[in-house]
Amino acid sequence: MMVLGVDPGLDGALAWQRIDGGAVVDYGAIDTPIKIHKNTKGRVQRAYDLPKMRDTLIDLVLDHGEEVRAVLEWIHAGVWSGEGRAQGASTAYSMGYGVAVWEALFTAFYVPYELVTPVVWKRAMLTVGNYDKDATRLQAQKLWPRVGLSLVKHNGRGDALFICKYGVRRVLSN
């Protein structure tokens, strides 16, 4: 069985863990596929690369013919950022859009998924009081050394890995 964990932001990631007989036998994480383009005012913008997101899901999961479950971080407008400050409107929109895209992909490919808030998965998976992005990345680096987590910009991978671990725990407890 494969369990997926998704941090849905533009700086987010998709993580996976394959479990067999109650043990994790493989794991990994990739950054959310994005594309860079210029808007009408000539400013560079980042956007979700929907075809690459679809193809990534097909290549990673659907071509292997195994049972799959997914856990998707659920963000809503006005949620605190984890560092004690509110998100801006464009960040809240982008995160909500990312959640919707992943939900649509999982639904289209019949992947059962669960939504989980950051507070829930962080309390279940992380050291008490150590909930900021960089602390998550550093903890993930120790648990999953094969995944590239050396740069601060890889904090989405760290979050996705812990969201995935949360999903593995839920699957194994049922």
Domains along the chain with CATH numbers? 2-173 (3.30.420.10)
Task: State residue 15's pLDDT score.
Answer: 96
> What element of type H or E holds 172?
helix 155-173
The terminus-to-terminus CA distance of the chain in angstroms comes to 14
Q: What is the pLDDT of residue 19?
A: 94
Phi first, then psi: give them for residue 105, nearest 5 degrees: -65, -45
pLDDT of 95: 72
pLDDT 10s per residue in the chain (174 long)? 999 999 999 999 999 999 999 899 999 999 999 999 998 899 999 999 999 999 999 988 877 778 999 999 997 655 555 555 556 666 667 778 999 999 999 999 999 999 999 989 998 998 766 677 778 888 888 888 889 888 888 889 999 999 999 999 999 987
Is this prediction's pTM over 0.85?
Answer: yes
Q: What pLDDT is recorded for position 138?
A: 86
Beta bridge partners, 29, equal: 15
Of 15, 135, 131, 148, the residue nearest 72 (C-alpha): 15
Q: Is 148 exposed, middle or buried (0-12, 13-18, 19+ CB in 10 A)?
A: middle
User: Pick from 115, 125, 129: which is nearest to 83 by CA?
Assistant: 129
Place of tokens 């801006």: 88
Interatomic CA distance for residues 34 and 95, integer angstroms: 13
pLDDT at position 48 is: 95
